[in-house]
Amino acid sequence: MEHGTTLTQFIIEEQRRIPGATGDFTSLLNDILTACKKISCAVNRGGLIGVLGSAETENVQGETQKKLDIISNEVMIDALEWTGHLAGMASEEMEDPLPIPKHYPKGKYLILFDPLDGSSNIDVNLSVGTIFSILRCPDGVEHPAVEDFLQPGSKQVCAGYALYGPSTMLVLTTGHGVNGFTLDRSIGEFILSHPDMKVPAETREFAINMSNQRYWNAPVSRYVEECLKGAEGAREKDFNMRWVASMVAEVHRILTRGGIFMYPGDSRKGAENGKLRLMYEANPMSFIIEQAGGASSTGRQRILDVQPQGLHQRVPVILGSREEVQRVVSYHNDTDGDGSRQVA
């Protein structure tokens, strides 16, 4: 029976095109896939195995962790620490990078991950996902410190996400376009189902948490106001709005049918740079979106060019269809100063 190209086969064929490739990266990806299948299984069984609900602990961001946040984090660590392909790991759920235990061999890559993004959606049975970003460990570094992880997103070797939705999908880029794979549970393999994904250039859909509207800066307010005016306003067309509160689902929708996603900084204390984390969310998603022909910006700078200052730093995110992102960026450029004025 024909099952199509597996993700492993796809990666091995890609690897054959790279002279001198050792197969390390392919093996690392395979280990990530295994972890994502295990997380998918736990998410899928949910209430049947008692993994829903709060763990009543807080992560480094001060956010209450779900049981599945902790389980997913452990699954990622267990699947990756022993493999010999990594020099270090960092997770949204852990304050410091996790060194590779002494008794395991070390490799040349660093991985950063958000083990279960959008986990506020878990208990209501909506889509969540795992996001990961792979960097090269700087030459000569055996015990990577925080600074070794603080590389701009443009240095990523690979970025991807697993989406645990009606189907489980794995979407990834190694810098040569974006491909999507669907988990065929009958054979336990991810099969190429969405080759060469492209973000449609033009869109009529935007995604932003509207409940924060009163705190937005002028450029973001202007953009959304114009969308809301629809055919009667400057845009001369009607827009639709979506907010899943799960970035993986949001980015997947944009890769499928276009749109713009924004989690801007706002005027609240502590929210100046928005909510999303540069290293675990913004960088990997920006790499994917750019590789699919879209754009990603803080409003003032390409996200992939941001020089990270801290492992858990937050960054304003405006990503999606190129023309829309460029429009929001141009509104930032039109604004004097820091763009923090509210639209009257």
- Can you give the binding site for ligand AHM, defined by CB under 6 A? 63, 114, 117-119, 209, 245-247, 250, 263, 275
As beta bridge partners, residue 64 has 58
Provide, rounded to whole angstroms, the least separation between the CB of residue 299 and ligand AHM: 17
Q: How far from 136 is each of 55, 109, 155, CA to CA, in Å?
A: 33, 5, 8
117/148 with CB nearer Mg ion: 117
Nearer to ligand AHM, 115 or 308 (CB): 115
- When CB distances are held under 5 to 8 angstroms depending on the partner's kind, the choice from ligand AHM, Mg ion, none that residue 245 binds is ligand AHM
Q: Which does 209 bind (CB under 5 to 8 A by kind): Mg ion, ligand AHM, none?
A: ligand AHM
The partner in contact with residue 37, picked from Mg ion, ligand AHM, none with C-beta cut-offs of 5 to 8 angstroms by kind, is none
Instruction: Please give the full DSSP string across 249-289, using - where no structure is assigned.
Output: HHHHHHHHH--EEEE---SSTT-TT-S-BIIIIIHHHHHHH
Instruction: Compute the distance between CA of residue 10 and CA of residue 15 in angstroms, rounded to an integer.
Output: 9
CA nearest neighbour of 158 among 24, 297, 53, 319? 24
Q: Which of Mg ion, ligand AHM, none does 63 bind, CB closer than 5 to 8 A by kind?
A: ligand AHM
Closer residue to ligand AHM in complex, CB, 46/99: 46
- Cβ distance to ligand AHM smaller for residue 63 or 323: 63
Q: Phi first, then psi: what are they for 187, rounded to 5°?
A: -120, 0
Residue number of the CB atom closest to ligand AHM: 247
Q: What tokens appear for 235 in the block?
A: 């845009």
Minimum CB separation of residue 227 from ligand AHM in Å reads 18
For strand 158-164 and strand 109-117, is the pairing parallel, antiparallel, or unpaired? unpaired
107 vs 308 by CB, closer to ligand AHM = 308
Q: Which does 192 bind (CB under 5 to 8 A by kind): Mg ion, ligand AHM, none?
A: none
Residues that bind Mg ion (CB under 5 A): 114, 117
Minimum separation from the CB atom of position 107 to Mg ion (A): 25
Sign of the CA dihedral running 216, 118, 55, 75:
negative
Q: Are 35 and 160 in contact (CB under 8 A)?
A: no
